[in-house]
C-alpha cells in the first residue's frame, strides 16, 4: 500500500485492510493509515469472504481493491453482490480461467495461441494433435505451482491424476519451445496507457531448489514493439477496460509469438520493482488507483532511465544451509538491492517466486547485466572470487 500507506486514495477512517502475517502481509503496516484491519489465514477462503462481507456492510465500503491473483474473483463477486463499481465477475473470469481466456481469444480470431483443450476430471488422454512434449496445468493455478511438463501421453495422464487432487479443472496444451517474455501494462478506459516488456531469465515452470530465475527489462527493438502490439490486441479481445495486467508470451526460434496466459494484476516476484526503476511507473500504485476509480499519474516517456534493470531470484538449496550474503551490495557493482528470506516451508520451493535470495541489478547494457548477475549468483553460492575491487560508489546504473 506504499511506504507511507498512501497509495489508497481515501482517508484512513475510510479504509479497511484484510491481510495476513504469512509472507510479510503486515510489512510496512501503520495503524494510523489503516485503523481497521483484519489479519487472517488467507488460505481459508470462506473465512476471508465472510470478513470481507462483514466489512462492506459494517463500514460502508464503496470500493474493493485486490492485488493478489487468488483474491481477484472474490473481489469481483463482492462488487457484483453489493453493487459496487469495478471489474465484475465475468470480466475477471477471463483472466483467471486459463481455458476460458484462450477460448475467448480463439473466438475473436486471435492467431497466437498454442494448441490446447480442457481436461475433465478423471478423463484419460488418448491422444493429442501435436508431437513433442505436453503441458498439463490447472486452469486456476498461480506461480506455476500447478504446471507439469511431460514427455508422452502416459506421463500426461499421471500428471493429470496428481493435479486433479487439488484443482477443480485442468488444461492440456502443446509445449512451446522458445524464450519466455512478459508484458506488464496499465489500461484505462480500454486504452493501454503504458506497457513494459521483460525477458524471463528462466521459464517460470522451471523452478526448484538450487536454481535461479527472475527477469530483465527488454531494451528497445523490434521484438519489444511486437510484444507490446500483441499485448494490446490480447487485452482488447479479453475485454479489459481498466486495470494493471501481466501477460506472458513465448518467442519461438522461428520468430513466432505464442500466447501463454494473462492476469489482471501486477506481476509478482519483484517485477514491479524493476519496472519502476526502469520507467518510473509504479504498477502496484497504478493497480490500486485504477480499482479506486482514479486515473493513475504516469511519468513522461522522456523521464525513463536508459539503463537495463533486472531481478535475479535464487531458490533455497535442497540442503537448507542458505545464509544471507550481507556483503553482496559492496562486493558486486550494480547490485541495487538485496533481500534474503528464510524458507517458509523447509526444503520446499512452493512456486516460481518463492525466492531465498532476491536482488535487483542495474547495468549499462544487457550483456553487462548478464555478467553481473552471474557474478552475484556465484558470490551468494560462496565463490568470493566473483567480487570486484569496484565499490558501490562507481555503479554506472542507479535507481
If you ran DSSP here, which 8-state letter would residue 394 be given?
Answer: G
Helix (H) or strand (E) holding 73, with range, is helix 72-81
How many angstroms separate the Cα of 327 from the Cα of each of 8, 159, 165, 304, 357? 36, 43, 44, 30, 13
pTM above 0.85, yes or no: yes
If you ran DSSP here, which 8-state letter would residue 45 be given?
Answer: H
Q: Give me the pLDDT at residue 7, please.
A: 87
Q: Give me the pLDDT at residue 389, please.
A: 44
3-state class (DSSP) for residue 263: strand
Q: Give me the pLDDT at residue 136, please.
A: 96
What strand order describes the sheet that includes 191-200? 257-263, 243-251, 179-188, 191-200, 212-217, 308-314, 357-363, 335-340
Helix (H) or strand (E) holding 103, with range, is helix 98-107
What residue has cell string 518467442? Answer: 251
- Measured in whole angstroms, the distance separating CA 329 from the mean position of its chain's CA atoms is 25
CA angle 277, 282, 285 (to 5 degrees): 155
What residue has cell string 462488487? Answer: 79
- Regions of the chain short of the pLDDT cut 70: 1-5, 22-25, 143, 204-205, 301-305, 319-321, 344-347, 388-399
What residue has cell string 519451445? Answer: 177
Instruction: Please tell me the distance from the alpha carbon of residue 229 to that of residue 343, in angstroms, as a whole number.
Output: 39
Looking from the CA of 14 toward its CB, the CA atoms found within 13 Å total 10
Work out the burial of residue 83: count CB atoms within 10 Å of its CB; fewer than 13 is exposed, 13-18 middle, 19 or more buried: exposed
Amino acid at each position: 500500500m506504499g511506504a507511507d500507506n498512501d497509495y489508497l486514495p481515501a482517508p484512513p477512517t475510510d479504509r479497511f485492510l484484510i491481510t495476513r502475517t504469512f509472507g510479510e502481509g503486515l510489512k510496512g503496516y501503520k495503524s494510523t493509515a489503516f485503523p481497521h484491519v483484519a489479519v487472517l489465514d488467507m488460505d481459508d477462503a470462506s473465512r476471508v469472504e465472510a470478513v470481507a462481507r462483514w466489512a462492506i456492510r459494517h463500514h460502508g465500503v464503496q470500493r474493493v481493491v485486490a492485488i493478489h491473483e487468488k483474491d481477484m474473483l472474490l473481489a469481483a463477486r463482492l462488487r457484483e453482490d453489493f453493487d459496487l463499481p469495478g471489474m465484475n465477475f465475468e470480466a475477471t473470469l477471463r483472466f483467471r480461467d486459463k481455458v476460458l481466456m484462450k477460448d475467448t481469444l480463439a473466438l475473436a480470431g486471435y492467431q497466437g495461441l498454442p494448441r490446447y483443450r480442457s481436461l475433465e476430471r478423471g478423463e484419460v488422454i488418448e491422444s493429442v494433435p501435436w508431437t513433442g512434449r505436453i503441458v498439463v496445468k490447472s486452469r486456476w493455478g498461480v506461480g506455476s505451482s500447478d504446471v507439469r511438463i511431460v514427455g508422452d501421453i502416459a506421463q500426461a495422464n499421471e500428471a493429470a491424476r496428481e493435479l486433479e487432487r487439488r484443482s477443480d479443472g485442468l488444461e492440456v496444451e502443446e509445449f512451446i519451445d522458445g524464450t519466455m517474455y512478459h508484458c506488464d501494462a496499465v489500461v484505462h478506459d480500454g486504452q493501454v496507457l503504458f506497457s513494459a516488456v521483460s525477458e524471463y531469465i528462466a521459464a517460470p515452470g522451471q523452478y526448484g531448489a538450487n536454481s535461479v530465475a527472475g527477469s530483465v527489462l527488454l531494451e528497445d527493438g523490434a521484438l519489444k514493439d511486437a510484444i507490446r502490439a500483441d499485448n494490446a490486441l490480447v487485452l482488447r479481445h479479453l475485454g479489459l477496460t481498466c486495470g494493471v495486467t501481466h501477460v506472458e508470451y513465448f518467442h519461438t526460434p522461428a520468430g513466432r509469438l505464442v500466447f501463454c496466459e494473462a492476469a489482471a494484476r501486477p506481476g509478482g516476484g519483484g517485477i514491479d520493482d524493476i519496472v519502476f526503476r526502469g520507467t518510473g511507473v509504479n504498477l502496484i500504485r497504478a493497480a490500486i488507483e485504477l480499482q479506486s476509480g482514479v486515473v493513475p499519474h504516469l511519468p513522461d516517456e522522456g523521464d525513463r532511465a536508459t539503463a537495463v534493470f533486472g531481478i535475479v531470484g535464487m531458490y533455497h538449496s535442497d540442503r537448507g544451509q542458505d545464509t544471507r550474503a550481507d556483503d553482496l551490495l559492496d562486493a558486486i557493482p550494480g547490485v541495487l538491492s538485496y533481500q534474503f528470506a528464510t524458507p517458509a516451508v523447509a526444503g520446499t520451493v512452493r512456486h516460481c517466486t518463492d525466492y531465498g535470495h532476491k536482488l535487483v541489478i542495474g547495468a549499462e547494457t544487457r550483456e553487462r547485466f548478464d555478467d553481473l548477475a552471474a557474478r552475484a549468483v556465484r558470490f551468494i553460492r560462496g565463490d568470493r572470487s566473483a567480487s570486484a575491487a569496484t565499490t558501490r560508489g562507481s555503479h554506472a546504473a542507479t535507481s
